[in-house]
Chains A and B, each alone.
Chain A
């Protein structure tokens, strides 16, 4: 920063990402409130701690290796070729984007007067990682061991979603170059992959006791506290706004970046460094939220749980192309996503006896997949990048393959395999007797004893 303009841009950008991180913290507050609101009284504290402890676990592992993965795997490895140095293996050196700087011992991974962006950019990605793990957390409440969930949270939060981000959410990612994959606000790279991962875990984990009648008919368990659920989802909406902002670069000169000689073009960009506007994406965010709420209220006949969740599902479905859609397209796409997610949730629940306690697989997984597929058709022919003709244009086939990679290859499969491994050690699910009594029984018993003792002294 050796002149006032560069200082202004630098400090503004640093502060911009810093604010998005604070806003995104609200997503996690919302998820905690939501999960506790849905769980029964006898499981509240364990439910809360499960979601809370993913914060430190994902944070430290994202520092250890998650950030490194994001910068290392953009070429597959050995699937695509980097536009920076022609490398097709792990991106280990040379050119911007090389991941030497993401090594946890690198000088940039600390307070460094030579760099103002790196830490807040790391933090923004870390908050995405918390969200990834938290999506899975809601689906498995009231029967998973906290220790098992901790391992699964690290797997999805610091490994698998990061791989897909490296592949499809990076300006040099092979999925962008070869498939024409486009996912501006993460319909697939966060939501579809986490929905798939949650489904893989749920298949192995099984339903809560009493969820299904002897004849297989599903029963509704909760939500116990609709006010916590309401506040939780409103906070998730709010944090999601911060997430949208965090997916952008607020000020960027695309002229020299795209090799346009003598051209200066300052704009906001998405994560692929293609132009968009913060105003436009704000309209699309609100219109897709509205489309989701309208469709959810309609299809669920005014059920509050589904209506709120549908607002979220609507945004998730439109997110892949919300950097380019018209607001009315966003609204209608959101409605289609909600319809599909709602119908698929109940079909899968009845057909496969899947107990998804918060509808996470539907809201994030199915809505995300539908959003990717729709994006492939609506944005068919758009360039996936401004870096030249080596990049495939956005197209339906590429987006369908991308959706499969997200939901199945990097989502369902790792979730299922990891859950199987943990289950084989007897450490995945809590004992039957504990599930009946409630995981908080000992806490509650001790609290009641204290209350009785204090009351006796007060007499």
Chain B
């Protein structure tokens, strides 16, 4: 029964019905009467009759029931002394919950702010923990080191370790238990179901010992199996192709057309180097002999108690006994200097590239959390100010400081806990898409998970922010004097706020602006660097060019003649297709790592030097290659139809090659044939017919380009000496429609062949830019949020301060201050804070952007434009945030305010 409504209805006919408060009071009396009657055993009818009689008498006295309460309703604070400390906490929390319900806007703002801050920080922590700190899955991971070899200080052009050093060390390893060689390639797997391209690891049998890996079923291959065609499947490939059937062991599988026997299945968790590797096939490290050099990656497990430095020293010493590989070493390392070996702990090596960016991002998101917390603290301080009287009275009634601090802590912890819960929920949502948001080549993406460590982190964060938000207002409470607070009610102090709280809020605000400034500077540097990478002049035009990697396995195409014929056939069909402007191929795509390299000697063009050792990357291309990707010809010409197998043998070089080795007149120069042997004639030299602009290997870490040589595939005597080529097609129409046609042309030519994903070349380039893009987008997002938080904070601070100073402002207006004077007064307060924050932020930025140096391309860490633009932006937006409160201050009506006070 709604007693209030019942009572209101009873007085509806009265000439002057009582006020709402009287109605409510009478309604409660009526309800109590009814309940008492029922409790005494009266029937409901009897009880209602008693109430009706009561109401009847009130109706008679309606004229006397007029009254207006002079006090606003209050909430009874919890008792000062609780029976037990635990009961007190519960009481505090219940009071806090009721308070939160009564101020829904404040509560919502706090919870959402904290949820965003804690959610973003926790989400990033998931990545940082999974990638950098989560223990590696292999049993002896702490003792595993990644080995790298340099010669004369130079790393190899591709790979990391040579067979020469490998064998020299593995014969007598003192510091190592074992070492293993591995590399990765993409192969076509067929047999049973449709052929598919998968990434596999080729590795020595010792890899399993180094990793301490045990098979899920079957066996892992042994050293004696290294030359036999066996394969160890990853758990995921086994499930996918064999439905997790244990009978798969012993079955056959075609790898690039060659039959392999499945010997075992490796658990996904132990996959090396990551779970993207779908199988492991054996690799026998060739013996070091003569001029040949095999380059691969190497890892080792050290004996217990051995340090990485000791292992590296031993590797270097053993490497010195490795046989000299002559010009090949020159080609691979660009030096024949002494071997140096370095050993880096596996965890560090896996994540070396991403460690710094991740730490930078974690710091950035931490700063974002700080600004979010600062806003909440600022809000709490403002509230503590208005609640000063309540607190003072409670202190007067005997509540100790500790008691009231506990109360304030309970209030802020409750809000932050709600925010934290929402934040963790947000992280759960984000985590599903996180793996797909990260670049495909990001290390340890499979290790991202929300686990106890993450939840613990979120909890610590929540409690930390909760305590920070409650403790600061409590500290001010301590400082406040009872008499001052009680006496001060109704008249705001001159500064707009109680001086202590005001100073703290100004300091917080300054720090917020500083943090926003630092993050904006960092984000705009990374953003500009990314744009510079995107629009960098690479020496060619990737737009509308589709590319497809095609491998012609030796089992299907054992002869170079058959490969040549296949490529010719595919190219002529592609060129005939509608929507195709041009089609060509290259043995190696520009801007991809690895590839072939060659070294040879030739007469030097430089004075004082007779012979120069050339190190260059040879490429085999079809005649149309240069026009397909629109490389620029700087001098001479590129290949034409006249450059056939019977014509004079010619070569096109890039600018780096011409500059380094050919001097002023590159066109017409004779240089020896390098890399790919062609006709066995008596004069193994070619004539340089043209010089091309460099294709630049644009990245923050690796600027510059390599000397390159281009040979026409037509002059290879109808033999194609490589098994993998990249087809390039420039589309005249929509590239997407051409993509499918490329696949079908390849299928028609040979149904057993599968081309790797056909991607427009500019998109393939974008995948190489995935990391810089991720970093700049993330930092940009954090900076944007921090910026928004700071502006909201500034706006809130000024609005509050204006409302608190209304009396002072009205007095000033009454004493003759004009509208502009008042505007200026408030603007000055806001802009002082902004300017101080900017100064601190810029100073911090100068120091902090130094850490970004390795991530920046085409923009200096102390870029003047950025350092000028960010403060301008903050100043403009900061001023806008001040304008509204300032206008409100300027439009005060002194009469109304002074009279109302």
Does A associate with B in a complex? no
